[in-house]
Amino acid sequence: MTTGRSLLILLMMVVTGITIVVIRGETAKASNRVQRLHQKQTELEHVLWSQEMDLARLRGPEEIRRRTKDLGLNLLPPRTDAAAKDANRGQPGPRD
């Protein structure tokens, strides 16, 4: 084997080693970023679930009654179908 070939093989091995080290570093960075993004996703899901629970609670009939009372709104309870029909008697219906 000549000296030129030996140097070429040595150079190729060095380049291969450096390439492997660089690829491992990039893989570690990407893995770390994926892990941070997954943690952020989990945190955001918890916030979303918490807000959905708050929304469900606020939409409940008891909470609506309490808030209307606190705001001093004088709202009438919903009428039954019979009461609504009686109230609409004598009024003109929708025209076609």
pLDDT digits (tens, 9 = 90+) for 22-50: 999 999 999 999 999 999 999 999 999 99
| Secondary structure (DSSP) of 29-71 | HHHHHHHHHHHHHHHHHHHHHHHHHHHHHHTSHHHHHHHHHHH
Q: Per the confidence metrics, is the pTM higher than 0.85?
A: no
Alpha carbons 24 and 30: distance in angstroms, whole number: 10
Alpha carbons 27 and 19: distance in angstroms, whole number: 12
Distance (Å) of CA 67 to CA 16, 64, 74? 71, 5, 11
Residues 61-91 pLDDT 10s? 888 888 888 888 887 777 777 666 666 666 6
Instruction: Quote the pLDDT of residue 79.
Output: 72
